[in-house]
Amino acid sequence: MKLTDLVNDVLSAPQWTLFLDRDGVINERIVGGYVLHYDELKILPFVKEALHLLKGKFYKIVVVSNQQSVGKGLCQYDEVVQIHNQLNKELQKENIAVDHFFFCPHKAEDGCECRKPKTGMAFEAQKMFPEIDFKHSIMVGDMITDIQFGHSLGMTTIYVGEKEVLNRDQIVELADFSFENLYEFAQLFKSK
């Protein structure tokens, strides 16, 4: 599918869902660490502007995030929920809150069904919002696991990220489209 066709389809069909990864897409990814408190969560530049452009164009906007900090005992499940509530409160001030934050609290070695690239969180989202149709969904992420997640569900996949990532070529090859960041992607929906 061409990019212009995708944008036109999103705008004309009512049921498109936007799945967003969190770390590296909405907020700065802490390399080698985790966001354990809300004050460590730094919203990336122009993310709010991006959400302004995207909000209302999709049936739902949901976040799907791997947070193995919980499984590693670095923070509690409820603390992650709190971080998401606070982030959404901040976004709500501008009417750009996301519809729900889904996260996997397990460690990589737990072998759960919800840690990306496994697809469990997509089905959780569908349980909460039954009109979600993966064929009419876009997954935006900054890691190959995000792209694999979207890919195996039949979603359109968007890679966003800096140029110097190690396996960038591999990610770009697998993703349907690539952008520098969420705002660059969101600009496709400008004044539409």
Among this protein's residues, is 9 annotated catalytic?
no
Among 55, 115, 116, 136, binds Zn ion (CB under 5 A): 115
Choose the contact partner of 114 out of Zn ion, Mg ion, none; CB within 5 to 8 A by kind.
Answer: Zn ion
Q: Residue 20: which residues within 8 A CB-CB, separation 6 or more?
A: 26, 61, 62, 63, 64, 98, 140, 141, 182
108/158 Cα distance (integer angstroms): 23
- The footprint of Mg ion on this chain (CB under 5 A) covers a number of residues equal to 4
CB of 14 to Mg ion, least distance (A): 28
Residue closer to Zn ion, measured from CB, 20 or 51: 20
User: Do 139 and 155 form a contact (C-beta atoms < 8 A)?
Assistant: yes
124 contributes a contact to Mg ion by CB under 5 A: no
CB nearer to Mg ion: pick between 132 and 160: 160
In the complex with Mg ion, the residue whose CB is nearer, 17 or 67, is 67
Site residues for Mg ion, 137-166, by CB under 5 A, read: 142
**Binding partner selected for residue 112 from Zn ion, Mg ion, none, CB under the kind-specific 5 to 8 Å limit:** Zn ion
In contact, 27 and 48? CB cutoff 8 Å? no
From 16, 21, 104, 139, residue interacting with Mg ion (rule: CB under 5 A): 21
114 is a contact residue toward Zn ion (CB under 5 A): yes
Is the CB of residue 189 less than 8 Å from the CB of residue 8?
Answer: no
**β-pair partners for 17:** 60, 137
Instruction: Work out whether 112 is an interface residue with Zn ion (CB under 5 A).
Output: yes
Alpha-carbon gap, residue 87 to 67, rounded angstroms: 16
The SS3 of residue 8 is helix
User: Is 163 strand, coil or helix?
Assistant: coil
Write a three-state SS string for 34-49: CCCCHHHCCECCCHHH
Q: Is 21 a catalytic residue?
A: yes
Name the site residues for Mg ion (rule: CB under 5 A). Answer: 21, 23-24, 142
Name the site residues for Zn ion (rule: CB under 5 A). Answer: 104, 106, 112, 114-115
Positions annotated as catalytic residues are: 21, 23
